[in-house]
Amino acid sequence: MKKALIISCLLICALCIHAAAEEEPLYPVRENGKWGYINQQGQIVIEPQWAYAEPFDGNTAVVSLNALRSETPDDGLIDRDGHYIIEPGQGYEIINHDIGNDDSYLIEKDDLYGFYDKKSGFYQPPCYESIWDSYGEELIIAESPDAGYGFIRRDTGEVVFPFQFGLFEEVGCAGGYVLAAYDRGGKEEYDWEWGPDYHLFDLSGHEIIFPENIRPAGHVHNGILRVSRELDEEGRKKHTSGWGTVYGLARADGTIIVEPQYDYLEFAGEKLISINLDNKLGLMDYDGKVILPPTYEENWEGPLPYIYYLNGYALIDEFIENRSIILDPAGNELFSHPTRSENGWMFGLERVMENGLVWYVTWFPDPDMPSDDQFGLLRIANNKVEYVTEPVFEDIGEDFSGEYMPVKQNGLWGYIDESAQWIIPPQYEKAFPFQDGLALTEKNLKMAYIDTSGHVIWQEQ
């Protein structure tokens, strides 16, 4: 869980353009140092008038009268007609995509925080010490200046759970339940041996009761959550690989599915759980059935910290065993590659995408050398793994959008399709994903929007 305090520049925010339902998308543009908005045909629809403007997220967008926002914030919020929802001139810094699944804007002034809820239109001026992510559900976490943390409704500001809790990892509202935590020993104290005192509540405030000595240790995910049990002194002596706590699975009603016995459990995607036992990884399903016994060495160095499971395949980097592997649903190895070659080059499975493509990366682990990462693509389909391309790209975008993806080669960005063929050859200093048929690029220090054929729809003069 991260505190929502990230300030994004326009170009990075351009990755997050979202069109409102049945509304024509709008795109921020700069003319003579002022920002406004164009439509998909490249026509100005909101006249340039601001020193800064972010992409629209649905029906709202952040604008500012001050280009140096981080030094002197002066943000406002506009609708699709360019009318103010929150007027600038109040010294606000408004941050998008930072409170629970992109449902709210965070608003900061003088170290106090409020929010604007996009769905309901509810506006809470800054009055809290902090506001934290709550997994995008109806409650968010707020910190009272003098009474700790509580849960409030994002659509009304109503305090649902009073300001009496602490704030720790996993705390939040998810799956229709609230995982709250009391500080052991007092608001400012933390028991480093046993951690916080977690409790699970439904949204009406009723606490879910678990069997004796078992407590919740994670938020609810598809009706399932992680639970834990603290070992006594004798149990700790026998369980030398753990931290004095063992983990199991339970249903949100308190029914135990798997008694606490593992060093850790982590949700791995597609209703599967990554098992950690004696520093080895395996997989179980939501019913507690072990699909892969914990026999794979845990990766502490590479880009995949746990087993990642998608489209029926498990991807594992085993640095101790010196291999990256891909398994089919039955646990059979479909792919294996050494994680370290004889000449010192490293190999890792970098990113999995829903279209069945997997980015892999090679690099040389020398801290004195400049970055030399090289990216390539694998495809997983029909119980086969094949190389789509050798590692020939210097950098990659976030994901394929509209079947195209920005990648960097020889210092310039272009776009490839899912077969790694160039759709738009590398020619840009910066390039961002296509959204609603247009992509933001920068060439010769001039920003431009292009269509999927590479034709310029609008270009900065």
194 residue type, one letter = W
Query: Does residue 216 contact residue 199 with C-beta atoms inside 8 Å?
Result: yes
Model pLDDT for residues 360-401, shown as the tens digit of each residue: 999 887 766 666 889 999 998 888 999 999 999 999 988 777
- The token pair that represents 30 in the structure block: 């700069």
- Would you put residue 98 in left (φ > 0), alpha (ψ -120 to 50) or beta? alpha
> Mind giving me the DSSP string for 362-380?
EE---TTSPP--EEEEEEE
Give residue 9's pLDDT.
38
pLDDT at res. 97: 67
Q: What are the CA-CA distances from residue 19 to residues 25, 58, 348, 456 (Å)?
A: 5, 5, 35, 20
| Sequence spans of domains, the chain | 1-127
* Long-range contacts (CB closer than 8 Å, 24 or more residues apart) made by 406-409: 406/431, 406/432, 406/433, 406/439, 407/375
Q: Report the first-to-last Cα separation within the chain, whole angstroms.
A: 42
Give backbone dihedrals phi and psi of 235, rounded to 5 degrees, phi first. Answer: -65, -35
Q: What is the DSSP string of 370-431?
A: PP--EEEEEEEETTEEEEEEEEEESEE-S--BTTBEEEEETTEEEEE-TTS-EEEEEEESEE
In this structure, are strands 18-19 and 57-58 parallel, antiparallel, or unpaired? Answer: parallel
Instruction: List the Cα angle 298/301/304 in 5-degree steps.
Output: 65
CA 3 from centroid of its chain's CA atoms: 13
The pTM score is 0.79
How many angstroms separate the CA atoms of 242 and 221, rounded?
A: 24
Q: Which helix (H) or strand (E) holds 348?
A: strand 346-352
| pLDDT at site 320 | 64
Which residue numbers in the chain have pLDDT < 70?
1-22, 97-102, 133-136, 183-195, 240-242, 298-310, 319-320, 367-371
CA gap 434, 136 in Å, rounded: 25
pLDDT at 279 (0 to 100): 78
**pLDDT of 241:** 65
- Return the ∠ at Cα 444 (arms to 439 and 445), rounded to 5°: 75
Q: According to the model, what pLDDT value does residue 21 have?
A: 42
For position 58, what pLDDT does the model report? 86
Q: CB of 379 within 8 A of CB of 385?
A: yes
Whole-angstrom Cα distance, residue 448 to residue 151? 43
- The whole-angstrom separation of Cα 113 and Cα 93 is 10
Closest CA to 407 of 430, 436, 390, 378: 430
pLDDT of residue 3: 34
CA distance 234 to 317: 34
